[in-house]
A and B are shown apart, each in its own frame.
Chain A
């Protein structure tokens, strides 16, 4: 399996790509930008973007979609009904996605935004802005903060500590480390 991360200077966000060994249909997660280095990364590894997973619809995680769809025939998956007027495949809690050789499970984690989800693939969690290394994503009001608390407590914290956390911003982490050190979680 190929696994890449790419840094988007737009919004300081992380983009992830999963692809099969040797090339083929790939999954891109949160394409907040689509720049030349990202295109080269995809093409140099003989990958074809067939699936676009969106953890939430903020533009720092979606602005690259329009360009991707000009180059690749890709399907979009997210909680909302559409993104930038593009039709999407709606995902909900426990939705299982079989995308080529990659099996994802959707975990609804609202709070940072109403449409936030986490994608689970094997021992990887793509948490978007729900859970970051050492913190959680910002919320707009007390209601959203409570939603985020519930999402993390009811959905993510219960998972095994061995999961790797690949957030929408900042460095990667591991769930056991977040349980141990993340003060935002301890405050909950």
Chain B
């Protein structure tokens, strides 16, 4: 419930329209020493359990352990997360729009009032999580799992999903309007309480 909200500033590069990253004046693409920045951010994540008011733009993170971290009011815009362990995390008012998640694990997490809009999610799991009022609109997902999760009031509008599972989920007031669903399982989930209007 608690969170400072991100302070946003633009990348100092005059030709760039991205956001500047926290602890920097520019976005990740315009950093002179990206390795040093990654080290700094990883150290920050490693030494803080509650993380708020952080902006990352275009950052590429892989093989890191973020288990049990609590993120409040953060923005991870157009980032790439590969093999990141997000198990038991808390997300509240976190914006991860246009980011890519490859082989990430969000199991047993608590993700509320956050946005994963226009993300690409591949070979990742959100199993046994509380995912209430989250925006997944425009997401592309492949080989990913949301089983045993509570997706109350979350939206998956205009998503493109292939080989994904929503087994035994709470889908009350969950919207899959205009979603393209290819080999997606909703076994044991309350699909009659979800919206599927315009499904393709």
Give which listed residue, B154, B158, B178, contacts A171 with CB less than 8 A. B154
Q: How far does the Cβ of B169 sit from chain A's closest Cβ, in whole Å? A: 16
Contacts of A4 in B (CB 8 A): 1-3
- A134 B137 Cβ-Cβ under 8 A: yes
Q: How far does the Cβ of A166 sit from chain B's closest Cβ, in whole Å? A: 9
- B178 A177 Cβ-Cβ under 8 A: no
- B133 A171 Cβ-Cβ under 8 A: yes
B168-184 vs A, CB cutoff 8 Å, 1 = contact: the mask equals: 00000101011000000
> Is B157 in contact with chain A by the CB < 8 A criterion?
yes
> Is B26 in contact with chain A by the CB < 8 A criterion?
no
> Is B12 in contact with chain A by the CB < 8 A criterion?
no
Contacts of B4 in A (CB 8 A): 1-3, 21
Q: How far does the alpha carbon of A21 sit from the alpha carbon of B52 in the complex, in Å?
A: 13
Q: How far does the alpha carbon of A28 sit from the alpha carbon of B134 in the complex, in Å?
A: 22
Give which listed residue, B114, B173, B198, contacts A172 with CB less than 8 A. B114
> Is B108 in contact with chain A by the CB < 8 A criterion?
no
> Is A66 in contact with chain B by the CB < 8 A criterion?
no
> Is B113 in contact with chain A by the CB < 8 A criterion?
yes
Q: How far does the alpha carbon of A37 sit from the alpha carbon of B92 in the complex, in Å?
A: 16
Q: How far does the alpha carbon of A114 sit from the alpha carbon of B153 in the complex, in Å?
A: 26
Interface members, chain A 45-90 (any B CB < 8 Å) = 45
Q: How many residues of A contact B (CB 8 A)?
A: 29
Contacts of A1 in B (CB 8 A): 4-5
- A170 and B155 in contact, given A164-B95, A177-B137 (Cβ under 8 angstroms): yes
> Is A97 in contact with chain B by the CB < 8 A criterion?
no
Give which listed residue, A2, A135, A172, contacts B115 with CB less than 8 A. A172
Give which listed residue, A3, A134, A170, A174, contacts B158 with CB less than 8 A. A134
Q: How far does the Cβ of A40 sit from chain B's closest Cβ, in whole Å? A: 9
- A183 and B118 in contact, given A45-B2, A134-B155, A134-B158 (Cβ under 8 angstroms): no
Q: How many residues of B contact A (CB 8 A)?
A: 32
Write the chain A residue with the least CB distance to B132. A7
- A123 B135 Cβ-Cβ under 8 A: no
> Is A10 in contact with chain B by the CB < 8 A criterion?
no
Q: How far does the Cβ of B3 sit from chain A's closest Cβ, in whole Å? A: 6
Write the chain B residue with the least CB distance to A38. B1
> Is A146 in contact with chain B by the CB < 8 A criterion?
no
- A183 and B178 in contact, given A12-B173, A177-B117 (Cβ under 8 angstroms): yes
- A171 B114 Cβ-Cβ under 8 A: yes
- A171 B2 Cβ-Cβ under 8 A: no
- A171 B157 Cβ-Cβ under 8 A: no
Write the chain A residue with the least CB distance to B173. A12
Contacts of A6 in B (CB 8 A): 1
Q: How far does the Cβ of A30 sit from chain B's closest Cβ, in whole Å? A: 14
B118-158 vs A, CB cutoff 8 Å, 1 = contact: the mask equals: 10000000000000111101100000000000000111011
Contacts of A170 in B (CB 8 A): 133, 135, 153, 155
- B117 A181 Cβ-Cβ under 8 A: yes
- A5 B155 Cβ-Cβ under 8 A: no
Q: How far does the alpha carbon of A174 sit from the alpha carbon of B117 in the complex, in Å?
A: 9
Which B residues have a C-beta under 8 Å from some C-beta of A?
A: 1-5, 8, 73, 92-93, 95, 97, 113-115, 117-118, 132-135, 137-138, 153-155, 157-158, 173, 175, 177-178, 198
